[in-house]
Amino acid sequence: MSLTDDAINKIKMMIVSGELRPGDRLPRESDLAERLGLSRNSLREAVRALSLIHVLDVRQGDGTYVTTLEPSLLLDAMAFVVDFHSDDTVLQFFEVRRILEPAAAAMAASAMTGEEIADLGALLDELGPAPTVEQLVSNDIEFHRRIAVGSGNAVLCSLIEGLSGPTQRARIWRGLTQHDAVARTLDEHRMIRDAIAGRQPEIARAWATVHVAGVEQWLRRALAE
């Protein structure tokens, strides 16, 4: 279990036990981190994850509150996690991505125009050095879509786009719970982009394989836990 997952579980237990009730404000970050035996960074990542699935509400300049915990919110939160923790279908989507996306990257290295490659680089540059997980995943989806389009094969592009939606929640959760996921994704995207720009199909294929397989490997561990 990652440190962030541990922090999420500890906050969840405070809510389940009734120690934190709907509408309650969380203690100060430093106080709560010390009380739960967590680093402030792990606690911060846990709060981000729980706010994303509407269990916590982060109010800038005011503090962090437990939401109303209405059934609709809890069902959304449950769906977010259960989608890939209780059903390995999403893992099968990643297995197919690992087969198709390296092929698309290799084809794109030969077929993409110079303008398309420049636009691909500009897309990565939009993120800056420290994007949020939500920004990263949105950019990630568009990055892979453009490579698929750049392959020049409309059928392959359609197949890859069809795999994007079913894997989105897992990609977000990985970004929130794996400490180096954001930096690793950025680095791997740049390596794929550089290989395409250098017209190196097999290197583009190799980096795309490493990239997708890394997420698949994380998901296998998450499912096993």
CA 57 – CA 120 distance, rounded (Å): 35
Considering the domain 87-224 in this protein, what is its CATH number? 1.20.120.530
**DSSP string covering 70-115:** -HHHHHHHHHHHHHHHS-THHHHHHHHHHHHHHHHHHHHHHH--HH
> pTM value?
0.66
Interatomic CA distance for residues 112 and 124, integer angstroms? 16
Residue 71: the pLDDT is: 53
- Least Cα distance to 97 among 155, 161, 153 occurs for 161
| Token pair listed for 195 | 């290989």
Q: Domain residue spans in the chain?
A: 3-80, 87-224
In whole angstroms, how far apart are CA 191 and each of 12, 31, 63, 99, 208? Answer: 38, 41, 39, 19, 9
Report, at the CATH architecture level, how domain 3-80 is classified. Orthogonal Bundle (1.10)
pLDDT digits (tens, 9 = 90+) for 59-91: 888 889 988 766 555 545 545 454 445 556 778
Q: What is the pLDDT of residue 82?
A: 46
pLDDT at 193: 97
The Cα angle at residue 146 between residues 141 and 148, in degrees rounded to 5: 95
Q: Which residue has the higher pLDDT, 28 or 67?
A: 28
